[in-house]
Structure 1
Amino acid sequence: MRALLSTFSLQELRHHPWRNASAVVAVMLGVALAFAVHLINASALAEFSSAVSAVNGEPDLELRARQGALDDRLLAQVAAHPGVALASPVLEQPLRLAAPDGGTPVAAKLLGVDALVVAGPSPALMPVADEAPAGGSGTRRFDLFAPDAVYLNAAARQRFANQQALPLPAGLALPALRIAGRVNAPGAPLLVMDVAAAQALTQRVGELSRVDLRLAPGARADAVLAALQLPPNVIAQRPEQAGERVSNLSRAYRVNLTVLALVALFTGAFLVYSVLALSVARRQPQFALLGVLGLSANERLRLVLAESALLGLLGSALGIALGTALAALALRLLGGDLGGGYFPGVAPPLRWSPLAALVYLLLGVAAALVGGWWPARATARMAPALALTGLGAPAPGGARRHTLALGLVVLAGALAWAPPVAGIPLAAYVSVGLLLVGGIAALPLAVGALLDRIAPHIARHALPVLAVERARRLRETAAVATSGVVASLALSVALTVMVASFRDSVTQWLDAVLPAQLYVRSAGGGGDTNHLQPDFVAAVARVEGVARVDTLRATPVQLDAARPAVTLLTRPLEAAPGRALGLPLVGNPLPVPDGAQAVPVYVSEAMVDLYGAHPGTWLPDLAQAFAGPQARGVRFFVAGVWRDYARQHGSVVMGRADFVRLTGDTRVNDLALHLQEGTDENAVRERIRALAAQYGAEDRMEFASVGQIRATSLRIFDRSFAVTVWLQAVAIGIGLFGVAASFSAQVLARRREFGLLAHLGLTRGQILGVVALEGLAWTLLGALAGLALGLAVSLVLVHVVNPQSFHWTMDLVLPWARLLALCAAVVVAGTLTAWLAGQAAAGRDAVRAVKEDW
Structure 2
Amino acid sequence: MLDLLKTFSWQELRHHPWRNAAAVMAVMLGVALAFSVHLINASALDEFSQAARSVSGQPDLELRGVQGQFDEALFARVARLPEVALASPVLEVGTYALLPEGKRSLQVVGVDALVVAFVAPDLMPLPARRGDQTAPDRYALFAPGQVFLNPAALALAGARLQLQSGLEPVTVSVAGSVRASGRALAVMDLGAAQELFGKQGQLSRIDLRLKAGVNRDDFVRSLASAPDWPANLSLTVPGDAQSQINKLSRAYRVNLTVLAFIALFTGAFLVFSVLSLSVAKRAQQFALLGVLGLSGHKRLSLVLWESLFLGLLGSAVGIALGTALAALALKWLGGDLGGGFFAGSAPRLQFSAWAALLYGAMGVAAALVGGWWPARAAQALPPAQTLKGLGGGRVNPHSHWLSLMLILLGAALTQAPPLWGIPVAAYVSVALLLVGGITALPWLIGLLLDRLAPLVARQTLPLLAVARARHQRETAAVAVSGVVASLSLAVALTVMVASFRESVTQWLEQVLPADLYVRSAGNLNASDTVYFSPEYVQAAAALKGVKQLQAQRVLPLLLQASLPPVALLARDMSDPAKNLPMVNAPLPVPAGQIGIYVSEAVVDLHGAVSGQAFAPMGKAFKPLAHAGQAPDATYFVAGVWRDYARQTGAIAIDKAAFERLTGDQRANDLALWLTQPADAPQVQAALRALADGTGSGSGELMEFGTPGQIRATSLRIFDRSFAVTYWLQAVAIAIGLFGVAASFSAQVLARRKEFGLLAHLGLTRRQILTVVAFEGAAWTLLGALAGLALGLVVSGVLVHVVNPQSFHWTMDLMLPWLKLLGLCLAVVVAGTLTAWLAAQAAAGQDAVLAVKEDW
Which secondary structure does the structure 1 equivalent of 2:524 belong to? coil
Please give the alpha-carbon distance, in whole angstroms, between the structure 2 residues aligned to 1:484 and 1:706.
44
Please give the alpha-carbon distance, in whole angstroms, between the structure 2 residues aligned to 1:492 and 1:509.
25
Is residue 195 of structure 1 aligned with residue 201 of structure 2? no
Aligned to 1:832: 833
Aligned to 1:492: 490
Query: Conserved in 1, the CA contact under 8 Å of 2:520 and 2:669?
Result: yes
Letter in 2 for 1:692: A
Question: CA distance change for structure 1 residues 135 and 261 in 2, over 3 Å: closer, same or farther?
Answer: closer
Is residue 154 of structure 1 aligned with residue 151 of structure 2? yes
Letter in 1 for 2:728: L
Deviation of 1:457 after TM superposition, in Å, equals 3.0
Which secondary structure does the structure 2 equivalent of 1:680 belong to? helix
Deviation of 1:716 after TM superposition, in Å, equals 1.8
Q: 304-313 vs 34-43, which deviates more?
A: 304-313
Question: CA distance change for structure 1 residues 834 and 135 in 2, over 3 Å: closer, same or farther?
Answer: same
Give the total of aligned pairs.
843
Deviation of 1:354 after TM superposition, in Å, equals 0.8
Please give the alpha-carbon distance, in whole angstroms, between the structure 2 residues aligned to 1:699 and 1:459.
78
Query: Conserved in 1, the CA contact under 8 Å of 2:304 and 2:368?
Result: yes
Query: Conserved in 1, the CA contact under 8 Å of 2:62 and 2:236?
Result: yes
Please give the alpha-carbon distance, in whole angstroms, between the structure 2 residues aligned to 1:829 and 1:382.
30
Deviation of 1:283 after TM superposition, in Å, equals 5.4
Query: Conserved in 1, the CA contact under 8 Å of 2:145 and 2:172?
Result: yes
Which secondary structure does the structure 2 equivalent of 1:213 belong to? strand
Letter in 2 for 1:259: V
Query: Conserved in 2, the CA contact under 8 Å of 1:169 and 1:699?
Result: no
Which secondary structure does the structure 2 equivalent of 1:540 belong to? helix
Please give the alpha-carbon distance, in whole angstroms, between the structure 1 residues aligned to 2:651 and 2:677.
35
Aligned to 1:612: 607
Letter in 1 for 2:32: A
Letter in 1 for 2:636: F
Aligned to 2:779: 778
Query: Conserved in 2, the CA contact under 8 Å of 1:752 and 1:847?
Result: no
Please give the alpha-carbon distance, in whole angstroms, between the structure 2 residues aligned to 1:617 and 1:365.
54
Q: 222-231 vs 111-120, which deviates more?
A: 222-231
Please give the alpha-carbon distance, in whole angstroms, between the structure 1 residues aligned to 2:261 and 2:344.
27
Is residue 670 of structure 1 aligned with residue 669 of structure 2? yes
Query: Conserved in 2, the CA contact under 8 Å of 1:34 and 1:262?
Result: yes
Deviation of 1:69 after TM superposition, in Å, equals 2.0
Which secondary structure does the structure 1 equivalent of 2:119 belong to? coil
Deviation of 1:139 after TM superposition, in Å, equals 7.2
Mapping for residues 26-65 of structure 1, pairs under 5 Å: 26-65=26-65
Which secondary structure does the structure 1 equivalent of 2:645 belong to? coil
Please give the alpha-carbon distance, in whole angstroms, between the structure 2 residues aligned to 1:329 and 1:434.
35
Aligned to 1:98: 98
Query: Conserved in 2, the CA contact under 8 Å of 1:424 and 1:805?
Result: yes
Question: CA distance change for structure 1 residues 709 and 316 in 2, over 3 Å: closer, same or farther?
Answer: same
Query: Conserved in 1, the CA contact under 8 Å of 2:280 and 2:747?
Result: no
Normalised by the length of structure 2, the TM-score is: 0.92
Mapping for residues 164-175 of structure 1, pairs under 5 Å: 164-169=159-164, 175=170
Deviation of 1:451 after TM superposition, in Å, equals 2.4
Aligned to 2:680: 681
Mapping for residues 176-575 of structure 1, pairs under 5 Å: 176-228=171-223, 229=226, 230-277=229-276, 279-280=278-279, 301-377=300-376, 398=397, 400-523=398-521, 525-527=523-525, 528-529=527-528, 530-575=530-575
Query: Conserved in 2, the CA contact under 8 Å of 1:264 and 1:734?
Result: no
Aligned to 1:116: 114
Letter in 1 for 2:609: H
Aligned to 1:744: 745
Q: Which 5+ residue runs of structure 2 have no aligned equivalent? A: none
Choose the corresponding residue for 2:132, options 131, 134, 142.
134
Which secondary structure does the structure 2 equivalent of 1:119 belong to? helix
Deviation of 1:566 after TM superposition, in Å, equals 1.4
Question: CA distance change for structure 1 residues 57 and 754 in 2, over 3 Å: closer, same or farther?
Answer: same
Question: CA distance change for structure 1 residues 223 and 303 in 2, over 3 Å: closer, same or farther?
Answer: same
Please give the alpha-carbon distance, in whole angstroms, between the structure 2 residues aligned to 1:180 and 1:640.
51
Question: CA distance change for structure 1 residues 837 and 324 in 2, over 3 Å: closer, same or farther?
Answer: farther
Which secondary structure does the structure 2 equivalent of 1:110 belong to? strand
Q: 1:13-57: CA deviations, max 9, x gaps? A: 445544444333222221121112212222222223322322222
Mapping for residues 616-695 of structure 1, pairs under 5 Å: 616-625=611-620, 626-627=622-623, 631-676=630-675, 680-694=679-693, 695=695
Question: CA distance change for structure 1 residues 121 and 563 in 2, over 3 Å: closer, same or farther?
Answer: same
Please give the alpha-carbon distance, in whole angstroms, between the structure 1 residues aligned to 2:123 and 2:671.
39
Please give the alpha-carbon distance, in whole angstroms, between the structure 1 residues aligned to 2:565 and 2:643.
15
Question: CA distance change for structure 1 residues 678 and 157 in 2, over 3 Å: closer, same or farther?
Answer: closer
Aligned to 2:810: 809
Please give the alpha-carbon distance, in whole angstroms, between the structure 1 residues aligned to 2:32 and 2:771.
37
Q: Which 5+ residue runs of structure 1 have no aligned equivalent? A: none
Question: CA distance change for structure 1 residues 587 and 740 in 2, over 3 Å: closer, same or farther?
Answer: same
Please give the alpha-carbon distance, in whole angstroms, between the structure 1 residues aligned to 2:284 and 2:172.
85
Task: Output the aligned Cα RMSD.
Answer: 2.8
Which secondary structure does the structure 2 equivalent of 1:717 belong to? helix
Normalised by the length of structure 1, the TM-score is: 0.92
Which secondary structure does the structure 2 equivalent of 1:105 belong to? strand
Which secondary structure does the structure 1 equivalent of 2:797 belong to? helix
Q: 298-307 vs 209-218, which deviates more?
A: 298-307
Letter in 2 for 1:23: A
Deviation of 1:679 after TM superposition, in Å, equals 6.5
Query: Conserved in 1, the CA contact under 8 Å of 2:388 and 2:854?
Result: no
Deviation of 1:764 after TM superposition, in Å, equals 4.5
Please give the alpha-carbon distance, in whole angstroms, between the structure 2 residues aligned to 1:390 and 1:310.
29
Could you tell me the percent identity over the aligned residues? 62
Question: CA distance change for structure 1 residues 496 and 179 in 2, over 3 Å: closer, same or farther?
Answer: same
Letter in 2 for 1:150: V
Please give the alpha-carbon distance, in whole angstroms, between the structure 1 residues aligned to 2:519 and 2:726.
34
Please give the alpha-carbon distance, in whole angstroms, between the structure 2 residues aligned to 1:384 and 1:747.
19
Q: 1:311-344: CA deviations, max 9, x gaps? A: 3223222221222222223223333333222222
Mapping for residues 561-600 of structure 1, pairs under 5 Å: 561-575=561-575, 579=577, 582-594=579-591, 596=592, 598-600=593-595
